Structure 1
Amino acid sequence: MFSRNKKDQFGELLQDMTVNLQEAAAYFSSFSPEKLEDITVFSETINNYESKGDKMVYQMIVALNDTFITPIEREDMLELTNRIDDVLDAMEKAALSFEICHLSKFNDVITKMATEISGATQEIASAVDCMFTKNLKVINTHSKKIKRHESKCDDLYREALLALFQEEEDPIRLIRYKTVYENLEEIANFCEDVSKTLNSIVMKNA
């Protein structure tokens, strides 16, 4: 595993990826649009975070291809990189769906789910940071917290769909909100996938 006393390019890249992810999620959860034009700015900003993340993924692939010995198995490093990238890709997809569905306001469900997602990305960043200190038990603790955030999103998603189909009479609005809720829940699921990958790496390197 990584050591803080001997940082390498892989550790630095992984940290940069998680910081970028955390910043994107924080922006996502704190954004409060007031008009439709704000959603366009929101979507473009999330797209910028995603593009920045793609560049880091490319840098990681190049580094893995150019290095004979890596701190952990290159397959695991690539898997973790891709799972982190999946979260950002899903975030970009969700942001775009707000624009496509013409949602100029975030309701309580969207705000709460975005907050849980932001919390999950904070735990992802902390877990990856712990890889530098070889603190395996703490990584497992962060993974459990990621799962709790994902479970909370699942609960919010189910409750929101139930209320939507019971109360919404406009089929277009129903489709729009259903699409947005599904995309948010997908982000949370990808956060859990990161957690599973982290747990797998810990088991291999314990």
Structure 2
Amino acid sequence: MFSKKKDRFSIYLVDFATHLNKAADYLVHSKVTDEASLDTFSQKIKQFETEADEKVHVIIKELNHAFITPIEREDILQLTMGLDDIIDGMEEFSAMMSIYNIYSSDTYIDQFTNYILLCSKEILQSTELLSENKLQDMETHAIKIKDHETQCDTLYRESLRTLFQNQSDPIIVIQYKELYEILEEIADYCQNVASLLQSIIMKNV
């Protein structure tokens, strides 16, 4: 496993998780009020996504040249791709906000994004523990991620029920239904990362 001296892959994973956490924090705290701020929001999230893709390319290149890896090569790759999936989901959400010209959030979007931010914090802490070879301590964080995803499942059903009951404009129904679906999918990606972390624990403890 990881030695006391940080392995380069542990550094890459913590860096990637830090990047994810910054993107999630921006997703939650950015203020969109008009076309200009929506454009800024969309471009910034796209920048996060582009930088994440670059990190993926670096890690894959290093994996291809590494003789020994601290945990299974496949686990490093899957964890990397799992983090990338989350940021890709954020970029898809911001792109749809831009396409639909939606300038403001609602209660459900706020709750979804807050849960995603909470997940990203747990993921960051987990990668830090992984880099310190404290695998058993990761379990608590993986469970919290899955708890947040469960809350998003409930929130998704509530958001759709409210949308269909209270909104008569079919265009708005279509738009917000898609936004809620994307956010719920991001939560699913977070759960996938949690499951992978638990798998790494089982293999290496």
Letter in 2 for 1:37: A
Aligned letter for 2:19?
Answer: N
Distance 2:165 2:107 in 1: 17
Cα separation, 1, equivalents of 2:186 and 2:50 = 17
Q: Which residue pairs with 2:17 in the alignment?
A: 18
The secondary structure found in structure 2 opposite 1:193 is: helix
Counterpart residue number, 1:145: 144
User: Structure 1: 5+ residue runs without aligned partners?
Assistant: none
CA contact (8 A) 1:32 1:106 kept: no
Residues 11 and 131 in structure 2, CA contact (< 8 A), matched pair in contact too: no
1:21-170 superposed matches below 5 A: 21-170=20-169
Q: Which runs of 5+ in 2 are unaligned?
A: none
Percent identity between matched residues is 40
SS at match of 2:131: coil
For 1:172 and 1:140, how far apart are their aligned partners in 2?
Answer: 43
Q: Note the alpha carbon deviations across 1:18-74, whole angstroms, 9 max, x for none.
A: 000000000001122111221111111011011111111111011111111111111
Tell me the TM-score normalized by structure 1.
0.97
Of the structure 1 ranges 133-142 and 193-202, higher mean CA displacement relative to structure 2 is found in 133-142
Say what the alpha-carbon RMSD is for the aligned residues: 0.9
| Ranges of 4+ aligned residues in structure 1 off by more than 3 Å | none
Report the 3-state secondary structure (helix = DSSP H, G, I; strand = E; otherwise coil) of the residue aligned with 1:131: helix
| 8 Å CA contact 2:7, 2:131 repeated in 1 | no
Aligned to 1:103, the other structure's residue is in SS state coil
TM-score by length of 2: 0.97
| Contact 2:12–2:59 (Cα < 8 Å) also in 1 | yes
Aligned residues: 205
With 134-143 and 182-191 compared, the bigger mean Cα shift is at 134-143
